[in-house]
Amino acid sequence: MSTPTSEPSGRGPAASLWSDLRASLAGGEREWSRMEPRRAVVLLAVPMMLEMALESVFAVVDIFYVARLGPAAIATVGLTEAMMTILFAVAIGLATATTALVARRVGEGDLEGAAETAVQALALGLLVSIGIGGGGALAARPLLAAMGASGAVLAVGTSYTTVMLGGCASVVLLFLGNAVFRGAGDPVVAIRVLWASNLVNLVLDPCLIFGLGPFPELGVTGAAVATTIGRTIGVALLVKYLFEGRSRVRLRPGLLRLRWAVMARLLRVSAGGILQYLAETGAWLALVRVLALFGEAALAGYTVAIRIVLFTFLPSWGLSNAAATLVGQNLGAGRPAEAERSVWLTARYNVAFLGSVGLAFLAVPGPLVRLFTRDPDVLAVAVECLRWLGASYGFFAFGLVAIQAFNGAGDTATPMRLKVVCYWLWQIPVAWLLSVEAGLGPRGVFAAIVSAEVLLAASSLVLFRRGRWKEKVV
């Protein structure tokens, strides 16, 4: 068994880092399981961090233009996104399983098996999307009404919701296609696809919303049409690249058949990922409900703080995704020690990154919050929230990497159980006790969040060190 390749000699640390950064964006095939772990983490993490940042651009661009149409249009986008939480849970769960299985097959040198997994993942995603999208599009108006939409929202937003739910296949397939390339260790392809998708959305959004030039004026519905077209073009590019062999996973016509055994394996592994996301988002909604007891300022302050947090969370999640790929490929290659070392290195980088951000939240939260609001009551809550969350960022960073390491090994059940215990059995009851029963108000909710992240990090550390994830067969 060969040893991992080492870093080229004769270069200083700065020159080596700069060379690695350029190489990470150049893409190309690499034997990640045979590469020196530090270089592998850097080369994988940079494009994955950029990928996660680009994932958020769709929502930012849409809300930038839709905000000019008034509160009813904004409410339409918010309510529809809330309904699509289930869809995103399915997409992320399937993508987690896809990355784990593709990475494992690539690490084993079974490129045919990796390609077969890719085909079955895309087919499964299409089948799920048809069911969810078809039913959602037909029931768009009653679904909006059930979410509490006003008459004005129903009047302007039903078509938007119909298009978004009806076109949900573009969301799921984009997640899954990118997961294939991520598992194969070539996330640069995902960046190129997302650049193209976002560019289409950026151009079409104002044209279709406001009726610029020859385009019809569709209002808020135009945002849904533009986003769906942009994502669909991205899916088409992903399929094209897969058939062209842009990475080690290459599709061919002979693989285009349904394999129920592979689909069943994907569903089994993805179930834990889906429940992970639902547990996390459900807990977030519960915290919002508790904060709503303390008035609009408390809820608005928390919302502003969370939007700031998301800017740092997505790159951190991308960095953690590198651990998932390296764990999967190293376990597939029979290198559990290298898999573990990759996780520790990624955790160290993530703690350094988020720890620095956390210090900024502790030191200068005011200027960050003032970019979003000047209301003194909202400002006070948001500042306090950032300070509490900043104190937990180091724990959050490690927990995120550990969770993705379990997922990369195909052990999605362990993170699911951890999140249920830490968020539902601990965070929500503690938030209620501290904020309502103890009279601490919003501060009690923020303290509960910190305690849950510390508990999650500590529990993840214990389970990770036990090493049972190394024995997972997928």
Looking at residue 16, its pLDDT comes to 60
Confidence class of residue 3 from pLDDT cuts 50, 70 and 90? very low
Taking the C-alpha atoms of residue 241 and residue 70, their distance in angstroms, rounded to an integer, is 40
**What global pTM score does this model have?**
0.77
Between 79 and 10, the more confident residue is 79
3-class SS of residue 412: coil
- Tokens for 441, please give them: 């108000």
Looking at residue 24, its pLDDT comes to 57
Confidence class of residue 26 from pLDDT cuts 50, 70 and 90? low
Chain-centroid distance of CA 388 in Å reads 23
Convert the pLDDT of each residue in 66-120 to its tens digit.
Answer: 878 877 887 788 778 778 877 888 888 898 889 889 989 998 999 999 999 999 9
Distant-in-sequence, close-in-space partners of 340: CB < 8 Å, separation ≥ 6: 467, 470
In this predicted structure, the answer to whether residue 227 has a pLDDT above a threshold of 50 is: yes
Distant-in-sequence, close-in-space partners of 313: CB < 8 Å, separation ≥ 6: none
Convert the pLDDT of each residue in 165-217 to its tens digit.
Answer: 999 999 999 999 989 998 888 878 888 898 899 999 999 999 999 999 999 99
Q: What percent of the chain has pLDDT over 70?
A: 91
Confidence class of residue 29 from pLDDT cuts 50, 70 and 90? low
Looking at residue 153, its pLDDT comes to 85
Between 326 and 11, the more confident residue is 326
Taking the C-alpha atoms of residue 52 and residue 406, their distance in angstroms, rounded to an integer, is 20
Looking at residue 159, its pLDDT comes to 96
Report yes or no: 157 and 73 within 8 Å, Cβ to Cβ. yes
Give me the residue label for tokens 């993705």: 404
